[in-house]
Structure 1
Amino acid sequence: MELKNAVAVVTGANRGLGRELAAQLLRNGAKVYAAARRPESVDLDGAVPLRLDVTDAESIRAAALIASDATLLVNNAGISTGTPLIAGTPEAVRLEMETNFFGPLAVTRAFAPVIEGNGGGAVLNVLSVLSWWHPAGSGAYAAAKAAAWAQSNAIREELAPRGITVSALHVGLMNTDMAAGIPADKADPADVATQVLDGIANGLPEILADETTRNVKQSLATTPAAA
């Protein structure tokens, strides 16, 4: 996909990776709708702030009407509550699924006909190394991202005849607010965003942004260790 003159909708564009993706898209010559639950929190010169809450069906419908020229959707908005599947509250588990699985699906369903009507384009789903590695302490997040990986694979096949490619980013810890409290080496969101945009431009189905993620992906054929 040619990014120059693309029209991108980036969810969660007010901070972290979403903000960096929006900024780099602008530098590449794209028009960018910077979507956030609070559009007043968007501080990117040249971007069009757009109210969009991925858990609010009405805000999704309204955003699709406003961004009616979109050719690229970046499903970046998400949460991580650190909720285990057994000990965690059902409400927290459901919140992870609503935000990280059903939210991106609802946004994609709303924007797929828009992108198709504008001649085709692309969707990017921001996932995680935890799509494939499932630590107990983050069981809800990992389950939601694993489901979002399956979603990405299924809609890739479904949307291909409509001229829409689907890419999935898998990445470990990044130096963002979401990972601020975790003491570990973290990727630079600017470096990850550059890899993402290269992957979209080249129609890659999966973008593996760091060595940890690549190693975990390669280990999928092994038997899980016993507890």
Structure 2
Amino acid sequence: MSSETKEAVGAQFSMTAMEHARVKTWEAVERIAAAMQPGMRESEANARGKAILAEMGMDRIWHPVLIRFGENTLRIFKERSVGDPVLGADDIFFVDIGVVWDQHEGDSGATFVTGNDPEMQACAQAAKTIYDEVAAHWRTTGCSGIALYDYAAERAKAHGWRLNLDIKGHRVSDFPHAIYKAGDLGEFAHEPAPGLWILEIQIAHPTRSFGAFYEDLLA
């Protein structure tokens, strides 16, 4: 499939609307994260996340709300959580939401910490730092999606973390992007166009049972 086909968009597509969806999705991530409290079960967190999105007036959810606590932060999107853990007073969690606003897809995710565990705090920050480094590499080099994830693995290792290469980013667009069958960003052999691809970074602590996640639109 050609790069043009993999980066196709619908007749209603608007870059302005994509940026609006991005802003609204980040607002939702922050609101959901602020609602997470120690003692809450993961299932309760996901239900609260859906309620917040409904309160914000979303068009619809295009991928399930995914909030992971503790060891479940190591699990990738398509894996089920183990059990229904309770968020601890010194714990780590991430929020991953895919939401349609004004018929355009937002997809954002970030990791947060309760308490003061320094390694959890460092892990949460590292996921964003690595994202920022990889996004800057894309802006300055114009490299392929494949090369971007090679670089991401290098940067994760340099920072002392393990990059989960089962997570390699994906398309977004005017809803639904799935009709374009574009595959993963990390398999894309061309320079990714701005406003069409989500860069995902998921890392694991080298010895402890937790990780961190960060994703945003390459724009």
TM-score, L = length of structure 2: 0.32
**Whose helix fraction is larger, Structure 1's or Structure 2's?**
1
More strand by share: 2
Greater relative contact order (Cα 8 A, min sep 6): structure 1 or 2?
A: 2
Report the TM-score when normalising by structure 1: 0.32
